[in-house]
Chains A and B, each alone.
Chain A
């Protein structure tokens, strides 16, 4: 299922060409902790082999209370997998898988800007890993749904219990999925879209 980026061709294959009439792109972000199935989900629904784009950030210093004169710079490179789904002869959807750990949040400004919304992919064996992600999305006002990726040895929790554990309001959908399955991953995206649609028709209650 995974395609190492070193195999990526230097140019798109002929069959990967978008129709010349395609003029509108939209994006959805799939975010989750290490090994939760982001790349698998992107690959399951993408019409192209998932590609990888990188970004490097040079982070200078750490904060205002740094010792003066100590010049610290660390470069962080983050790889994001992405895939593509042609939706019509005009519309194309891009899906970006991005790691949820805080040290990667520098990527999120450009990534989430203009994104329709996000899928937070969760492994119930490591629920706590997603707390920060959920908080950060809420802070940024990015609409999201939660998808529970079913691993064989994941404990099965009732959704209501997960909702409490994740401290999510009733309005935010929580769905189960198998990221390896195209149909299941497509249904996750459809759930996100339906949720976004309800947001456009229902006034959102202000968070406390």
Chain B
């Protein structure tokens, strides 16, 4: 995937998989720039400040790109914080639709319909 001349830092979006839901078999979640995060719990006293901030700002769905921008952290650093919160089940991740080589026509229609109302 990555070009021969480039190497990502640890925590690159490609390599970041989070194992969630241990007992029920678990599912691997890949964290993308546009993975939407929603809080499942309120910040606790003594939490790491950035993680508390994520729980506050994700009362409504928010992409990891937005979290990274508000926290002023590189995307990969924000994704690591989110990954820990997912593992602790403090937030829920809504995986984006990852378009394959050809996106789903129904999805494209929905996007066009939404854009035409702008």
Within the complex, the shortest CB–CB distance from A83 to chain B, in Å, comes to 10
Contacts of B59 in A (CB 8 A): 17
Q: Which one, A26, A60, A82, A182, contacts B65 given CB within 8 A?
A: A82
Within the complex, the shortest CB–CB distance from B20 to chain A, in Å, comes to 17
Distance of A86 Cα from B63 Cα, bound (Å): 12
Q: How large is the interface on A (under 10, 10 to 19, 20 to 34, 35 or more residues)?
A: 35 or more
Question: Does A129 sit within 8 A of B, measured CB to CB?
Answer: no
Closest to A204 in B: B102
Q: Which one, B3, B60, B74, B94, contacts A56 given CB within 8 A?
A: B74
Contacts of B47 in A (CB 8 A): none
Closest to A114 in B: B98
Report if A111-B33 is in contact (Cβ < 8 Å); known contacts: A9-B70, A12-B66: yes
Question: Does B21 sit within 8 A of A, measured CB to CB?
Answer: no
Within the complex, the shortest CB–CB distance from A206 to chain B, in Å, comes to 13
Closest to B16 in A: A110
Question: Does A11 sit within 8 A of B, measured CB to CB?
Answer: yes
In residues 35-73 of chain B, which contact A (Cβ within 8 Å)? 35-36, 38, 53, 56-57, 59-63, 65-66, 68-73
Going nearest first, the 5 A-B pairs with the smallest beta carbon separation are: A87-B114, A114-B98, A51-B69, A110-B13, A17-B60
